[in-house]
Structure 1
Amino acid sequence: MAIKQDKDGTWRVQIDRKGMPRTRRTGFTAKGDAELFERNYLAEYRVNHEQAMDGRTLKELIESWFIYHGINLADGERRRRALLQMASDLKNPVASQLTAEQFLKYRYQKTFEGDVVCFKTFNNLHGYLAAVFNKLKKLKVITYQSPICDIDFIKVQERQLSYLSRKQIDELLEVIRIHAQNLNTWWVTQICLRTGARWSEAEKLKRKQLRDGRITFEFTKSKKTRTVPLDPAFFHALDQYAGYLNPDDRIFTNCIGSFRRAAKHTSIDFPQGQKTHILRHSFASHFVMNGGNILSLQKILGHADISMTMRYAHLAPDHLKDAIKLNPLANTVKLSADTFKTQ
């Protein structure tokens, strides 16, 4: 291995090391450029060599990710199960040998053949797997790049978030009151609609989280607590319903199944996979339509990223009114219906 200067003043690099592909490159105008090429070549070979020698399967890598990082995520166990299922579907290859082509074939199968999943769901799975490789590389558990890092996510047509109208909300609450087998269902539904809570956050409330006219949600998706005030009359009724439980006692039993069964008696066409989450969307949508502030909504919902909350901005009463006032024809003469009739 040597860096030498040729007669014409340029520099030549020759790498001839045992166990490494031999290479020779000429024409470098500066010695520093030749040295940089040498370093990059050796580093790339080392990474490629280590990748080839890493015989851990995809499932083994997923378990390492879970131990080192995933266990600390609010949905870590759920992600782990989804990732292990992906590994099984891919026939659990050696992780370092997984190719982009293998993944793309798998994506096609999952989205177009058999029991298909929607594009958005697969994009979530794609993100989970990419995060495994990226996190382990950052932790220096592996040295190579994610084999799927250059694969773009499927472009999904953005749709307006669904929410319930006031009439639908009244219908839902009445049906729950009549048909729900678990009395807790009505209270949990009310809390979700009044605070924007996720169903699991409301369902798992403990007595100590209900205090001074407010609910404090703990163990949230963002790992941060948040406090939301309640209407005094509703808080008093809920406080009475909770009774004299110990601070760490749960107020409600699990009742999501009761909600789903009761919801079937309504005329509401619930979006797929959003039977309970639509309650959170309904709170946020009505909050904005009634003139609520987006920054306040972000705090109430517990969004770490304001872009998540901005999905509701188009519902604001004054949203994009400037499109009417500032378009190039805004100051033209008044038009009548006859103006638009074809000649």
Structure 2
Amino acid sequence: MFEKVGWKSEGVTAGYAKQVRDDRLRELRQGGVVTRTQKLTLDQAFEMYCSSHLAATDSERRVRSMYSAVVSPAFGHMYLSQISTRKLQEFVTGLHDVARPATIRHYIGIIKTVYNMMRTWGEYLGPSPVEGVVMPSVDNDRTRFLTQQEAAMLLDELCCRSVDTARIALLSLHTGMRAGEIFALRGENVNMNEGIIHIVDPKSGVSRVAYMSERVRRMMEAIQPVPGQWVFPARHGGQRAEVPDTFERAVADLGLNYGIEDARDKVVFHTLRHTFASWLISEGAAIKAVQELMGHSTIKMTERYAKLAPDKRKDAARLLNMLN
């Protein structure tokens, strides 16, 4: 008797096929019924998910690294039906002293994604233990922004290493666009005649426009975006998923993070977006205008930059002197 367990292209591995075979032999010996969905370990489920959704993507290495380093040792050997909400909560609590809240959320996010995919594919029929797990709050508000000199140094360094990375960095610095918004940019979103970039389906859910600086306009003229194609495609075609490692190496070699321990004060790609807003506020731009350019869903998100605004009270006091 033969049983088809799936195709390799669907993420089915030799290890998983062996597990199914062992289950069926156990059924014959014991006379019971052991369903496939009850006997799928988290490691097996993760491998199916990676093979189907992450293979050859820019994020595969990062996700696999996080999973194998922390998640797999704790739960990889367990069947999906054995992992409970309580065990996951204990896992989260145990990580508080060794990992940042955002990192812990990433670990749980991987587990959640695997369960969701297995349920969608009918490989697991039970509830997801991730539901109900109390996650640590995240304070990721970054306080670091680049000076004009630092920004110029970084862009020059990137130009020497990778033109694509330098262009991506320039676009974020001069428009405030998020990395994901830049990677999702297609030729039809760039209006050279009007000098604007249409940011479609952003993180906030509300589309907006970005205005090209002269430097960005010259860059776009050199790229010549083609409708229907990615403006900044991945190395092997398709949409980019992550900022090139070149950016991190350039930051390190320039010493921009030397001696800085707090991750919120370190220069990362998102610092360019933060710098864009900081420069605007420092030059006296209205908070409301910056909110719209940044695509912030609430004014509160933009108000954290208010401390950088010029002190208008002194200007008001000078007006009184003019009246005397």
- Normalised to the residue count of structure 1, the TM-score between the two structures is 0.54
Q: Does residue 1:97 correspond to 2:82, yes or no?
A: yes
- Aligned runs of 1:71-90 on 2, under 5 Å? 81=64, 85=68, 88-89=72-73, 90=75
Q: Does residue 1:197 correspond to 2:182, yes or no?
A: no
Whole-angstrom CA distance in 2 between matches of 1:144 and 1:253: 37
Question: In the alignment, which residue of structure 2 is the partner of 1:291?
Answer: 286
Q: 1:151 aligns with which of 133, 143, 147?
A: 133
Whole-angstrom CA distance in 2 between matches of 1:186 and 1:80: 25
Q: Does residue 1:315 correspond to 2:310, yes or no?
A: no
Q: Does residue 1:237 correspond to 2:231, yes or no?
A: no
1:268-326 CA distances to partner (integer Å, 9 max, x unpaired)?
337637521111222244456631327x736x5556xx26x74332333799xxxxxxx
Give the structure with the higher percent helix.
2
**Is the Cα contact below 8 Å between 1:216 and 1:225 reproduced in 2?**
yes
Q: Which is worse superposed, 202-211 or 189-198? A: 202-211
Whole-angstrom CA distance in 2 between matches of 1:65 and 1:257: 25
- Aligned runs of 1:29-108 on 2, under 5 Å? 54-62=38-46, 81=64, 85=68, 88-89=72-73, 90-100=75-85, 102-104=87-89, 106-107=91-92
* Cα gap change, 1:132 to 1:263, in 2 (>3 Å): closer
**Is the Cα contact below 8 Å between 2:39 and 2:79 reproduced in 1?**
yes
Whole-angstrom CA distance in 2 between matches of 1:100 and 1:256: 36
Question: In the alignment, which residue of structure 1 is the partner of 2:271?
Answer: 278
Whole-angstrom CA distance in 2 between matches of 1:150 and 1:204: 33
Whole-angstrom CA distance in 2 between matches of 1:151 and 1:222: 25
Q: Does residue 1:268 correspond to 2:256, yes or no?
A: yes
* Cα gap change, 1:52 to 1:104, in 2 (>3 Å): farther
**Is the Cα contact below 8 Å between 2:196 and 2:212 reproduced in 1?**
yes
SS at match of 2:304: helix
Shift of 1:61: 4.2
- Structure 2's unaligned 5+ residue stretches are 1-33, 236-242, 310-324
- Aligned runs of 1:107-256 on 2, under 5 Å? 107=92, 110-112=95-97, 116-130=98-112, 132-133=114-115, 142-156=124-138, 158=139, 160-165=141-146, 168-177=147-156, 180-182=159-161, 184=163, 185-199=165-179, 201-202=181-182, 209-210=189-190, 211-212=192-193, 213-217=195-199, 227-231=209-213, 233-242=214-223, 248=229, 250=231, 256=244
- Normalised to the residue count of structure 2, the TM-score between the two structures is 0.56
Identity of aligned residues (%): 18
* Cα gap change, 1:301 to 1:137, in 2 (>3 Å): farther
**Is the Cα contact below 8 Å between 2:278 and 2:305 reproduced in 1?**
yes
Shift of 1:215: 2.6
Shift of 1:122: 0.7
Q: CA RMSD in A?
A: 4.9
Shift of 1:147: 2.8
Shift of 1:106: 4.0
Whole-angstrom CA distance in 2 between matches of 1:122 and 1:203: 26
Larger gyration radius, structure 1 or structure 2: 1
Shift of 1:97: 0.9
Q: How many residues align?
A: 255
- Structure 1's unaligned 5+ residue stretches are 1-49, 320-343
Give the structure with the higher percent strand.
1
Higher RCO structure, 1 or 2 (CA under 8 Å, sep 6+): 2
